[in-house]
Chain A
């Protein structure tokens, strides 16, 4: 006797493929926002599945802060070549050079918030009407209310109190010129789901996610990697530790954790035993209780 129900990972996959196909059908010029992190890699992998045997019909858009892990850029370029898709890069450095944004000052300065302007500029210049992201509702409390199809006004802003109701699987992607949408195919996935799926599908991810020896500094309760952008405080010292990263953002703000997990199996086991949330090591979220919501309203990922 065969079973006629899906296990939860297959159901999440089927839902994400449905969302990606809806995006393709409803928009003129959609792109995948690609950061080189596991969630955007997962979305890209799902897009490959959704349109097989055709190739992915979306360009990949990378908002490049200039503060990257070198591993991330190499991974991105290899993937682009393998998939035969187009890459669009929005450069924060260029936004700074053009005077569109100003670099933050002070010890904890990052380019995190500057990305908003670069992202919105890139969306406008490339006439993108839907940017597909790897955002998940379990990540953060403001994201818990995101729709699959999330409307942005002509300033790129999100209005969380005036979202379109989303019933059944009927997504309304209609918008006026100058407005755009964000689409989140993996809304319903948790961090654990992502790792279980990456393991099951054996998806290639940057080596940064695996435990490796690295120069780091202890700051704000996590191990910040040493880089040319790091300014050491008097009491801080650089150590070599075996660490891995749970999320990948800018090299300046992404904290690692001490770990021996150097296979997908070990990572999945480690994540399932974690007692801290994934973004707990992201200093961009630690600035205030509503840091994510405030950025999202302005047009953040």
Chain B
């Protein structure tokens, strides 16, 4: 069972009252992913709170503080499996003060579910969520127009929201966008097809998630292999002289015999073997974890990147980055931060804030140069040594960075290379 099943990660952003928790609860409940003891606990809490029936939203409640306040303040991960796929949900809060959590959840997602209340249509929050999804280059966006039961399952109401959405999203970089009219509360078009909305010809949400094409979400063209660590057994057996470079392929495909360049040193060699515990491979592709041996003895260590000689990233000390500031402490000018890019770590400085984006109106502001928590802005960064970059649009792994404050060791910013 499940031999060829893929893993799909999706994110849901939303605020307290747009039905996000109910939708997740509904997905898990109707796909039979909730255990009896969990359901019992939810039933008891529902009764205590005086709800009619089972409040499916309670299923996604996490930490004590959140349960007390009834809001999601951090990213929580949920899991369910159907006969077709395994799913990981990154459940994130939707308020503006939690932009950083939305960005975190979006960073690894294949798909984003954006909820719109059919009664209210596109609101500020919808624009914000869609903007973040496009900024983080989530390959697929599914707009669920929820609470259709409260607008008499009207096709007109549904079309109105689609028109509003198309209008504002045309400027964003979204590759694949779909619309589904649902009622999370009543279960219409979540797992089961809605009888009340027979005018809707598309698939319900779960079927959409189960069948959308995701194999191309990872770049399989540009071979990039950041070295995590070097394996040297130094044992008294056949592996005495073994020297393997261990890592997870970020993108592309590697094969023995490939002519490769080691960056940043620029030395060239050929791939001798690609090894795993099970044995050597004829080829390996992203996101496989392997170790690679080369024909020549070259000094390679963590932070170096092995790439195909005819397709190299840019080695640069000057980057333009879309940055999301994640920390309470605001950015300090002329301060050195540690920059992490794949396995490579260098020092870096923010040279200039080009503009800041108002994530509600999407307007650019080039006057305001201060970076506070949840701000999204375009910055110029200078590093002490070259790093091997691709644009985030081409490559989510080799196009992303984080900044770490050396005085606190905290991760303070996340960036996407322009």
A238 interface contact, C-beta 8 A? no
Residues of B within 8 A of A289 (CB): 41
One of B73, B234, B253, B276 near A4 (C-beta < 8 A)? B253
Q: Is the CB of A167 within 8 A of B400?
A: yes
One of A13, A18, A50, A54 near B233 (C-beta < 8 A)? A54
Residues of B within 8 A of A164 (CB): 410-411
Q: Is the CB of B215 within 8 A of A5?
A: yes
A38-51: contact bitstring with B at CB < 8 Å (1 yes, 0 no)? Answer: 00000000001111
14 inter-chain pairs at a CB distance below 8 angstroms, sorted by A residue, are: A11-B6, A14-B287, A21-B229, A22-B228, A51-B246, A52-B277, A145-B62, A145-B76, A165-B100, A167-B411, A170-B340, A174-B338, A174-B404, A280-B37
Q: Is the CB of B77 within 8 A of A188?
A: yes
Q: How far is the CA of A274 from the CA of B33 in the complex (A)?
A: 10
From 1 to 49 in chain A, residues with beta carbon under 8 angstroms from any chain B beta carbon are 2-15, 17-18, 21-22, 24-25, 48-49
Residues of B within 8 A of A274 (CB): 35
Q: Which residue of A lies closest to B328 (CB)?
A: A162
Q: How far is the CA of A6 from the CA of B244 in the complex (A)?
A: 23
A275 interface contact, C-beta 8 A? yes
Stretch at the interface among B81-89, B125-133, B202-210: B81-89
Stretch at the interface among B15-23, B103-111, B355-363: B103-111
Q: How far is the CA of A293 from the CA of B63 in the complex (A)?
A: 7
Q: Is the CB of B409 within 8 A of A49?
A: no
The distance from the CB of B20 to the nearest CB of chain A, in whole angstroms, is: 15
Residues of B within 8 A of A80 (CB): none
A191-223: contact bitstring with B at CB < 8 Å (1 yes, 0 no)? Answer: 011001000000000000000000000000000
Categorize the interface residue count of chain A.
Answer: 35 or more
A6-B246 in contact given A137-B77, A165-B100, A188-B77 (Cβ < 8 Å): no
Categorize the interface residue count of chain B.
Answer: 35 or more
Q: Is the CB of A18 within 8 A of B248?
A: yes
Q: Is the CB of A172 within 8 A of B402?
A: yes
B163 interface contact, C-beta 8 A? no
Residues of B within 8 A of A172 (CB): 340, 402, 404, 409-411
A231 interface contact, C-beta 8 A? no
Q: How far is the CA of A4 from the CA of B38 in the complex (A)?
A: 38
The distance from the CB of B322 to the nearest CB of chain A, in whole angstroms, is: 13
Q: How far is the CA of A137 from the CA of B283 in the complex (A)?
A: 32
A108 interface contact, C-beta 8 A? no
From 379 to 418 in chain B, residues with beta carbon under 8 angstroms from any chain A beta carbon are 396-397, 400-402, 404, 409-411, 414
Q: Is the CB of B37 within 8 A of A49?
A: no
Residues of A that sit less than 8 Å from B by CB? 2-15, 17-18, 21-22, 24-25, 48-55, 137-138, 141-142, 144-145, 160-161, 163-170, 172, 174-176, 187-188, 190, 192-193, 196, 274-277, 280, 289-290, 293
B65 interface contact, C-beta 8 A? yes
The distance from the CB of A150 to the nearest CB of chain B, in whole angstroms, is: 12
B165 interface contact, C-beta 8 A? no
The distance from the CB of B161 to the nearest CB of chain A, in whole angstroms, is: 31
Q: Which residue of B lies closest to A22 (CB)?
A: B228
Q: Is the CB of B63 within 8 A of A168?
A: no
Q: How far is the CA of A229 from the CA of B170 in the complex (A)?
A: 68
Q: Is the CB of B63 within 8 A of A141?
A: yes
Q: Is the CB of B233 within 8 A of A8?
A: no
Q: How far is the CA of A215 from the CA of B61 in the complex (A)?
A: 38
The distance from the CB of A6 to the nearest CB of chain B, in whole angstroms, is: 7
Residues of B within 8 A of A190 (CB): 79, 81
